[in-house]
Amino acid sequence: MNISERFLRYVAFDTQSDEASSTVPSTAGQRIFAEALADELRAIGMEDVELNEKGYLMATLPANSDKAAPVIGFIAHLDTSPDMSGRNVQPRIVHYGGGEIVLSEQENIRMSPAHFPELSKYVGHDLIVTDGTTLLGADDKAGVAAIVSAMQYLLEHDDIKHGKVRIAFTPDEEIGRGVNHFDVKKFGCEWAYTVDGGEIGELEYENFNAATAEICFKGLSVHPGYAKGIMLNAALLAAEYVSWLPTDMRPESTEGYEGFFHLISIRAGVEEARLVYLVREHDSELFGKKKELLSALVERMNGKYPESSTLSLTDTYYNMYEQVAPHPHIINLAAEAMRAVGVEPIVKPMRGGTDGARLSFMGLPCPNIFAGGHNFHGRYEFIPISSLEKSMQTIIKIIDLI
């Protein structure tokens, strides 16, 4: 089975995570996928294949030489984003000759380089695309496919001498719970790489500091015909609060190292309203200032409408840079491996987070390498087969170079 066939088989599993769920994993589909993966890993010859009750899957590629080598690992996540349906994914391979790609003729859904200029890099390549009604699932089934395919290749090519390698697949990364139950000691690695990056060449060891903010507003509802001087409309308080946050600090207005406030949920009525924001910032000092601003605006609201507003702030992960930067050989090894397989590394800050961010703070330095996909979490997601293949080759070369 080649890597594209493996990937196409994986995306057929419905593995969206669910933030409203209290189970681990949050959805049954992730467990079903993990069980299928465990069977596959045993079939290709991996050792110590263990799927625990929480849906975490680990396995070992045994050493085939006696050379001294650190134990390293590779990690990807089982779930796909709840932002768009991942059920009944109908991918297809198109040979891209330029211009628009018609994803759905019936619904007139088209992917154009006018909106997605990165397409122009892949003229002449075979792309795996959606049918326009679901996401694809390259985030992170491309990473899963690259890791499993690399393991199979090494098991079939004993001439590549290597030490012990560990792999792991985690549930619920997309809802921020991916390493809640990850056993770093049991994984037993000196360092690891998440294979959860985007375009070919991405190499990331900086990410956002992240928090979730929930702002709740309490109003007073009376009959609107008799509301003068009495009614306090919580929905309008929420709208006013939103208007106070700077518009140039929204995701659609930022790039690179610039952080943002991302409004992801509004629930509003006269009596009660609730806003949920994602707070993101690379710099820890600016991260603190963003949280201070949210708090100051709640105080401003309460000054105007006493006891109307409350704020709950929860930090979710931090910038892995301070944990990974003291180990430059980890980054240099990945960059060397990429160049050895014909890929120029693109070292850039990650505008998001991975399991590796939290794992780095749990004692496992864990930068992120590319899986090859684009436009994650939506109907325009695609992955060049050539990029997927290079991800696999990079993993193999990292192991070869140690």
pLDDT for 204-236, tens place per residue? 999 999 999 999 999 999 999 999 999 999 999
pLDDT at 67 (0 to 100) = 79
Q: How many angstroms separate the CA atoms of 275 and 271, rounded?
A: 14
At the topology level, CATH places domain 209-316 in: Alpha-Beta Plaits (3.30.70)
The answer to whether 315 is a known catalytic residue is no
Domain ranges within the chain, ordered by starting residue = 3-206+319-401, 209-316
Among 14, 139, 172, 173, the active-site one is 173
Say which of 14, 40, 79, 140 is annotated catalytic: 79
- What pLDDT is recorded for position 223? 93
pLDDT of residue 226: 94
Give the sign of the dihedral formed by CA 282, CA 284, CA 288, CA 289: negative
**173 in catalytic set:** yes
Note whether 3-206+319-401 and 209-316 share their fold. Answer: no
Which CATH fold topology does 3-206+319-401 show? Aminopeptidase (3.40.630)
Helix 284-304, helix 234-244: angle, nearest 10 = 140
Low-confidence ranges of the chain (pLDDT < 70): none
Q: What is the pLDDT of residue 176?
A: 87
What is the pTM for the complete model shown? 0.90
CA distances from 265 to 213, 215, 244, 250, 277 (A): 11, 11, 17, 14, 7
Largest distance between two CA atoms of the chain? 85
Residue 66: per-residue pLDDT = 87
